């Protein structure tokens, strides 16, 4: 996209901008207490300390994998961004308890579609960190990944912009 088209579009390409899938506090991925995420082993991104109990799609795309346990979902945006949204840390061990999936692997989704409901308070009461890492699994495909961190976000707020 050229300089003038960026200028007149407000500077961001909507196809390469992800919105928040949940209400909460956006923080740097380095603040996640699991090295798989904080050391960007799976890719770059950010995390959200949730204040709500539903995860929504951050883009238009397809569900590549809805985990049976409901603790995580992989999406591929219509523009090719590979996104992992992981609800809490080590929550796979809950075996689906406190999670309800609303979509399935292979489903086409629109930005803002509800994907997973989770019982944040119950998960925390069982001793789990409820932070939600949002990881770009094909980070190497982008020259720049700019997360919004250190602020409260609402579902639908821009949180990540990517450039090829």
Q: Give residue-wise pLDDT tens across range 141-163.
A: 999 999 999 999 999 999 999 99
Cα dihedral 18→19→21→26 (10° resolution)? 100
What domains appear along the chain, each with residue ranges and CATH number?
A: 18-157 (2.70.70.10)
**89 neighbors 128 (Cβ within 8 angstroms):** yes
Alpha-helix runs per DSSP H in 49-129: 120-125
What whole-number distance in Å separates Cα of residue 38 and Cα of residue 44? 9
* Predicted confidence band of residue 5 (pLDDT cuts 50, 70, 90): very low
**130 neighbors 88 (Cβ within 8 angstroms):** yes
> What pLDDT, on the 0 to 100 scale, is given for residue 162?
94
pTM for this model (two decimals): 0.92
Indicate which residues carry an active-site annotation. Answer: 86
Q: What mean pLDDT comes out for the span 121-130?
A: 97
Cβ atoms within 10 A of the Cβ of 72, count?
Answer: 20
Residue 145 burial by CB count (10 A; 0-12/13-18/19+): exposed, middle or buried? buried
> What pLDDT, on the 0 to 100 scale, is given for residue 15?
77
List of residues 6+ apart from 121 with CB closer than 8 A: none
pLDDT one-digit tens code per residue, 69-108: 999 999 999 999 999 999 999 999 999 999 999 999 999 9
Average pLDDT, the chain: 92
> What pLDDT, on the 0 to 100 scale, is given for residue 164?
87
pLDDT one-digit tens code per residue, 108-121: 999 999 999 999 99
């Amino acid at each position: 996209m050229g300089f003038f088209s960026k200028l007149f579009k407000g500077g961001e390409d909507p196809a390469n901008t992800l919105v928040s899938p949940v209400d909460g506090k956006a923080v740097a991925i380095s603040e996640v207490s699991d090295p798989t995420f904080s050391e960007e082993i799976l890719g770059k991104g950010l995390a959200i300390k949730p204040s709500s109990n539903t995860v929504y799609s951050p883009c238009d795309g397809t569900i590549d994998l809805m985990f049976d346990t409901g603790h995580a979902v992989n999406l591929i945006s219509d523009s090719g961004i590979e996104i992992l949204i992981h609800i809490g840390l080590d929550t796979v061990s809950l075996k689906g308890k406190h999670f309800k999936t609303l979509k399935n692997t292979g489903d086409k989704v629109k930005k803002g579609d509800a994907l997973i409901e989770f019982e944040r308070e119950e998960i925390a009461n069982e001793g789990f960190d409820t932070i939600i890492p949002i990881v770009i699994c094909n980070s190497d495909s982008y020259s720049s990944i700019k997360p919004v961190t250190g602020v409260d976000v609402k579902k639908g707020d821009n949180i990540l912009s990517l450039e090829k």
